[in-house]
Chains A and B, each alone.
Chain A
Amino acid sequence: MTPPPAHCILNFNKTVFALIIINKAGGLIYNRTFHEGGLNKISTNDYLVLAGTFHGVHAITARLNPLSPSTTTSHRTSISSTATAPAGGAASAVGGGGGMLTRPEAPSGLEVLETENFRMQCFTTLTGVKFLLFADTTQTNVDLAMRRVYDLYTDYVMKNPFYQLEMPVRCDMFDRKLGSYIREINNR
């Protein structure tokens, strides 16, 4: 057993472990481990199950809002009723003016999950794709890393003309850019 290199000892607690991308239907479309030893090795099938489970749990966590979700629904009905009552352009003006004050906040599911050994950041895009970034509990600026990963996804996956929506991501450029970016974080 050789001791790990010096930079590994120094930065052992500052590591991004893995990235998972889940499509809007709850299917696993990307799965990559960056740092061995951070998370248990599980089979691809288990990853698929995990993605589906998380997708369901995420939807439930959005519904569990203790701050009376009933009021948000009543707001929604009141907005729609004011918007439909006046005709034409006035409707949008009334709806817009009242909406600024009473518009309910968009439901939000799980964003950060903390455990004893790792922290998971979840970012949901407007189209419902979920990015799960697993990192060490002491890792800082995961938000920023997530943002960057999303940038890479939009640049190298969404702009790839051969990529089919909702299908597993197999883009060399994405793999390469993501790998070099995460390596940069892990060796910082």
Chain B
Amino acid sequence: MVVYSFYIFDRHTECIYAKTWLPTSASSADTTTTGALTTTSAPRATSSDDAKLIFGTVFSLRNMVRKLGGDDDAFVSYRTAHYKLHFYETASSLRLVMLTDTATLSMRNVLHQIYINLWVEYVVKNPLSPVEHKGGAGVRNELFELALDQFIRSLM
């Protein structure tokens, strides 16, 4: 199983956290191979655009699914030939999105685990963290980032 990237969107539809774990070996020789995995916490030039596109996709699909499947239905994941996108929305409309390879099974419980074990523990219970995370404030704390990175790497 390979995790490509992970995004958190708040209820104001803003991307408050984005992280990518891109395997450089999977792409070809013209990218410089420095190691097995490069973690880019600082987003690439296009990554904010990516986040917007991902949010738009997820939002449209969620509305489509609700229209067809009823209000209690929830969009879980979609798969293309190249990747798979997993989606989890909390009751407070915090949206967690994860992109993995196509062979991965449902990651809904994993996203739920990230929410209850990492988000609630390290962001919500942090007394210094603001209520609204404008521009990712309060999410980029060391404990959350470290624990998330460890958790994702333990899955791979």
Does B bind A?
A: yes
Q: Which residues of A approach B to under 8 Å, CB–CB?
A: 39-40, 42, 46, 50, 53-54, 56-57, 60-68, 71, 74-75, 102, 105, 108-118, 134
Given A66-B22, A68-B22, do A112 and B79 touch, yes or no (CB 8 Å)?
yes
A102 to B28, CA, bound (A): 9
Shortest CB-to-CB span from B141 to chain A, Å, is 25
Chain A at the B interface: SS class = mixed
* Total number of B residues with any Cβ neighbor in A under 8 Å: 38
Chain B at the A interface: SS class = mixed
- B53-78 residues with Cβ-Cβ distance < 8 A to A are 53-54, 56-57, 60-61, 63-65, 67-70, 72-78
Q: A54-B64, A117-B69 are in contact. List 5 more A-B contacts (CB 8 A).
A: A57-B60, A62-B80, A64-B99, A66-B99, A108-B80
Q: In the complex, which residues of chain A have a beta carbon less than 8 angstroms from the beta carbon of B27?
A: 67-68, 71
A66 to B76, CA, bound (A): 19
Q: In the complex, which residues of chain A have a beta carbon less than 8 angstroms from the beta carbon of B106?
A: 114
Shortest CB-to-CB span from B65 to chain A, Å, is 5
- 24 A-B residue pairs with Cβ-Cβ distance under 8 Å, sorted by A, are A50-B67, A53-B60, A53-B63, A60-B56, A60-B57, A61-B85, A63-B53, A64-B50, A64-B54, A65-B82, A71-B28, A71-B31, A75-B28, A108-B80, A111-B78, A111-B81, A113-B61, A113-B75, A113-B78, A114-B76, A115-B65, A116-B73, A116-B74, A117-B70
